Amino acid sequence: MKKKQVLIIVGAIFLIVMIWRIIMLVTKESGGNAGRDGRPPVAVEVDSVRYASIQQAESFTGTVSPLYQYIIAPKVSGRVIQIKKRIGDWLKKGEVLARIDDSEYQQAVREAEANLKIAQASLKEVSSQFALSRQELERVQSLQEKGIASPAELDAAQSNFTAQKSRLELANAQVEQREAALKSANIRLSYTVLVTTEPGFIGERYVDEGSLLAPNAPVVSVIGIDTVIVQTTVIERIYGRIQIGQSAEVEVDAFPTKRFNGIVSRIAPVLQEASRVAKMEIEVANDSLFLKPGMFTKLSVVLAQKDSAQVVPTQAVVSRAGEKGVFVIPDSAAVASYIPVQVGITSPEKTEILSPRLQGLVVTLGQHLLENGSPVILPKPNQDTSESKRKQNQ
């Protein structure tokens, strides 16, 4: 009797377990079919498609250089007796900067003037002798025609005339030589006064008054910084996209709140073989004179720009199977559709969509969980509005 009861209990437990297993299998299968046929909605964040201006910029680092720089140095030796300017002073074009002791050069000028006067006096004497020899030759020739003068007298007059003519040519040459010597002495005297060839600021001063200078010894350096050049390098990847005339924005650590506008003025026609970079120059107007040569700069060059383009937030663009696309939620719908797109200008905040034309909202967060036709849960209206306003302000 007890054995029979035990068997009944065991059988009842086995039956209960089997029924429970069947229920679980049916429940699991029903749940799986529901997952395949009706995907669970995904909570996402969205933003609108709009038309706005967009630009793509590339960042670089560079160094400020003056538009021009030159050294003022004497062409003659001598002792400095006067320097009017110091570092940072402004110089006008043609302004006298320094003077060298010119006593020796003035003496050389006086000697050259005296030698010229001697040569000119000698020229006058020789000219008179030449005039007399010519008159004598003409007189003898006249007498020869009348048969009065002998051939020997004519030959003597002709020889004297030729000699005086040679002396006259020599005297003229000596006068020209003395004039050239005087001009050279005056030029060397002018070298004792150092003047500027272009306006600018004194960048460095190398000597003081009383210094003894050799020819071509530097006195000061002059820099022009009304316009400056920012020198940087371009890598090969974007070399073809850099064009002369593109706009640029320059920043320096000395003035972190200021921005300086410039343009691409020059691009090297050759890339350095070792580094595969090319030199580039940005010309920046420096009316405020804030930019100084040697400053480190951060700059961005606008590679492309449009005033009105179809744009979406950059984070909305995804890559699927090697192509770019966006998930679009049409108006009055809660289903995301994947649309392949062709992108244009790209910036960290916005991306231009060249084609197709999009309508509705684009998914900006949660798109990695979506597939074409996936149901979505949209944010509350106030959240959506505040998010859109925040992104539009960006």
**What is the three-class DSSP state of 98?**
strand
Instruction: Label residue 164 exposed, middle or buried (CB < 10 Å: 0-12, 13-18, 19+).
Output: buried
Chain mean pLDDT for the chain: 86
pLDDT at 33 over 50: no
* Full DSSP string of 225-293: EEEEEEEEEEEHHHHTT--TT-EEEEEETTSTT--EEEEEEEE-SS--TTT-EEEEEEEEE-TT----T
**Alpha carbon 297 to chain centroid distance?**
11
102-191 CATH: 1.20.120
pLDDT at 372 over 80: yes
Q: What pLDDT is stored for residue 384 in this prediction?
A: 46
Structure confidence by residue, pLDDT tens digits, 286-326:
999 999 999 999 999 988 888 888 999 999 999 888 899 99
Give CA–CA dist 58/260, Å, rounded: 16
Tally of CB atoms within 10 A around 24: 10
Per-position b or e across 12-21, b if 16+ CB within 10 A of its CB: eeeeeeeeee
Range in 14-18, 182-186, 208-212, 268-272 the model is least confident about: 14-18
pLDDT at 382 over 70: no
End-to-end CA, the chain:
86
Contact residues for 306 (Cβ-Cβ < 8 A; gap 6+): 53, 54, 55, 344, 345, 352
Contact 281, 229 (CB under 8 A): yes
Give CA–CA dist 187/181, Å, rounded: 10
Number of H helices, E strands in the chain: 5, 21
**Regarding predicted confidence, which is higher, 285 or 156?**
285
Tokens of 267: 């691009």
Q: Which helix (H) or strand (E) holds 57?
A: strand 50-72
- Could you confirm whether domain 42-54+307-393 is CATH 3.30.360.10? no
pLDDT at 149 over 90: no
| Class of domain 224-306 as given by CATH | mainly beta
pLDDT at 194 over 80: yes
Helices (H), 312-355: none
Structure confidence by residue, pLDDT tens digits, 160-188:
888 888 998 999 999 999 999 999 999 99
Q: Which helix (H) or strand (E) holds 386?
A: helix 381-393
The domain segmentation of the chain, as residue ranges, is 42-54+307-393, 74-97+196-218, 102-191, 224-306
Torsions phi, psi of 171, nearest 5? -65, -40
Tokens of 88: 């940072």
Q: Which helix (H) or strand (E) holds 144?
A: helix 103-146
